[in-house]
Amino acid sequence: MTAPAHSPAWQERGHSRSLGKLLDERSRGSDNNFLALRLLAALAVVVGHSFPLAPTPCLGCKDILREAGSPVPLHGMGVLIFFAISGFLILRSATQHRLIDFARARVLRILPGLAICAVVMALVIGPLYSAYSFTEYLTRSEPYSYIFRIVTFARYVPFGLPGVVFTATANGSTVNGSLWTIPLEVRLYVLAALAGLSIRHLRIPGLVTIGILTLLSGWTDLSFIVPNEDDYRLAWMFAIGASMYTARRWIPMHALICIGLIVSWRVCRETAAGPALFNVMVAYSTLYVAFLPAMRMPTYVKDYSYGIYLYAFPLQQVISHMLPSIGPYGLMALSLPLSCLAGVLSWKLIEEKALRWK
């Protein structure tokens, strides 16, 4: 009895194949789910932020991930998914392109949208919601320092602007609390570029390169490069995604592995191994879903995730200021469509045009 000439149907659906083979077959955007995952991650950030930002507390409103025992809330999970995808795809880009091309692509993807967002925060939202008069506000140095620190990827992103208070909550004076992750991501891009150079020109294996950088971070205080945010959880997520790219030929992708990682984390979450298992579980599951049969979306849907991420937080603050009795679910209902609209406008007016220069 001869073996079938084609793979079984369950293999064709993306199960029990190596990550490298799936990447080779589904590298085009329409053949994988990276776009859908980025959009879902951005929306998860909006939903998750609705709990701490709503001016009226709701005792019965619970973050579903916190209820399930997750060490991060829903918006934190959205960011982890972003960093796992970023580590995988950014190292791939760093190993396939010249340094100048890699740097140009990263700058054009990040900086134009961020710069416009910083200007909107400092020179539109700031004066509108500041206790200072328009003239007093614009004659102070803080708004311009705010823009400068954001566009230069300063390690510590300013959270407030002079006289701006949206609500009386703990986060009421924060203008855009989402921006703190961007300087960290840019620093990880630099490390990915170094790893790419060593892989391409020094012929050092990728896992060895990442291992050297990891050991170096353990021996030396590299917090000036990669700030210690949440026990380096985001940096670890980026590193796991990058490691999975370098080891892609040997990593099988199967639903049972996802289930095994989830069960292992649930059993060991209170132990020293819990955080590491959680990070690996999230990264593996993210890439597993990325290479499941593609979620067919309309061709007009583009990568609005960055714009959603940039503008959702300040939009939620403005809504909370205008509707001081609104709760988390009401804030979700209003901020989700407005954030999506902001993402579409950011893409069409800024990001898409900037990317043409690549």
φ, ψ at 253 (rounded to 5°): -115, 115
166 Cβ contact partners less than 8 Å away, ≥ 6 residues apart: 129, 172, 173, 317, 318, 320, 321
- pLDDT reading at 284 higher than 70: yes
Handedness of CA 129, 117, 346, 182 (dihedral sign): negative
- pLDDT reading at 171 higher than 70: yes
Handedness of CA 197, 202, 207, 208 (dihedral sign): negative
Amino acid 4: pLDDT: 43
Amino acid 218: pLDDT: 54
- pLDDT reading at 172 higher than 60: yes
Least trusted range by pLDDT, from 15-29, 175-189, 297-311, 338-352: 15-29
pTM: 0.91
For 46, 51, 63, 167, 349, the CA distances from 73, given in Å and listed in that order, are 12, 10, 6, 22, 32
For residue range 49-59, what is the model confidence (pLDDT) as tens digits? 999 999 998 88
Least trusted range by pLDDT, from 160-164, 232-236, 326-330: 232-236
Closest CA relative to residue 134, chosen from 144, 149, 148, 123: 123
CB atoms within 10 A of CB 333: 12
Amino acid 229: pLDDT: 64
**Separation between Cα atoms, residue 178 and residue 185, nearest integer Å:** 12
DSSP 155-196: SS-----TTB---SSTTTT-S-GGGGHHHHHHHHHHHHHHHH
Least trusted range by pLDDT, from 18-32, 111-125, 212-226, 228-242: 212-226
Amino acid 300: pLDDT: 87
Amino acid 295: pLDDT: 84
**Separation between Cα atoms, residue 263 and residue 257, nearest integer Å:** 10
Amino acid 157: pLDDT: 85
